[in-house]
Amino acid sequence: MNKIAIEGIGMTSRRTRERLIERLMEQGISNYQVLELIRSTPRHMFLDEALSHRAYEDVALPIGYNQTISQPYIVARMTEILMGGAKKLGNVLEIGTGCGYQTAILSRLSDQVLSVERIRPLQEKARKRLSTLKCYNVQLRHADGGFGWPAKGPFDAILSAAAPREVPSELLPQLADGGRLVTPIGDERKQHLVLVTREGDEYTEQVLEQVNFVPFLSGTVR
């Protein structure tokens, strides 16, 4: 992948990205590390060519199989929530790799990212992009993320990019003591971001802003 492909030109240029960062700051994203990563991660590479000119608009866009790449604001917000006051994330579980954009952002902030996706062809495309961007601390798995990835836990941070009706109970014991889990919760009509923190055997749930995610589905697609 050459420099122009990664840095982008025209609608994917540095100036266009700069405007996105300004917009995210106006919307209240304040974590400097997160903003810097949104600036430096080539979102246009995660989209089909026909849509890449829209990569730095703050919107979700289709990635095929009825799924969408998350809106930059949401990626920034969820990452910021997971970080809390920390500088680094440690061992991270992501559910819903999708195109791999959020995965790439997480990989730069973590020791390791374990990411699960139920739709195989999306996962395969994500794998290629993450390798092009040298995200070597990422492992991908084709599975139903409702079961987490117990063999790789416990996780300091868990992020779900799809909305279940309630926090999947299998995930809670995979959260490390002091760990943070962020997920949208709800149905097609109404969803909220929820932050679950663990202290010993005590789990505390905080309901945050209203959001709009694709549903968390069970089973896998080949």
Alpha carbons within 13 A on the beta-carbon side of 113: 30
The catalytically annotated residue of 70, 110, 115, 160 is: 70
End-to-end CA distance of the chain: 28
182 binds ligand SAH (CB under 6 A): no
Count of all residues that appear for the chain in the document: 222
Q: What is the CA radius of gyration of the chain?
A: 16
155 or 216: CB nearest ligand SAH: 216
In DSSP notation, 177-211 reads EEEEEEEEEE-SS-EEEEEEEEETTEEEEEEEEEE
Q: Which of residues 109-148 bind ligand SAH (CB under 6 A)?
A: 116-119, 122, 144-146
- Binding ligand SAH by CB under 6 A: which of 56, 73, 155, 216? 216
> In this structure, what are the phi and psi dihedrals at residue 83, rounded to the nearest 5 degrees?
-65, -30
- Binding ligand SAH by CB under 6 A: which of 42, 98, 184, 186? 98
- Binding ligand SAH by CB under 6 A: which of 162, 175, 193, 211? 162
71 binds ligand SAH (CB under 6 A): no
116 or 194: CB nearest ligand SAH: 116
Contacting residues for 114 by C-beta, under 8 A, at least 6 apart: 91, 92, 93, 94, 138, 139, 141, 149, 152, 155
70 binds ligand SAH (CB under 6 A): yes
Instruction: Give the residues lining the site for ligand SAH (CB under 6 A).
Output: 63, 67-70, 95-96, 98-99, 101-102, 116-119, 122, 144-146, 161-162, 214, 216-218
Active site residues: 70
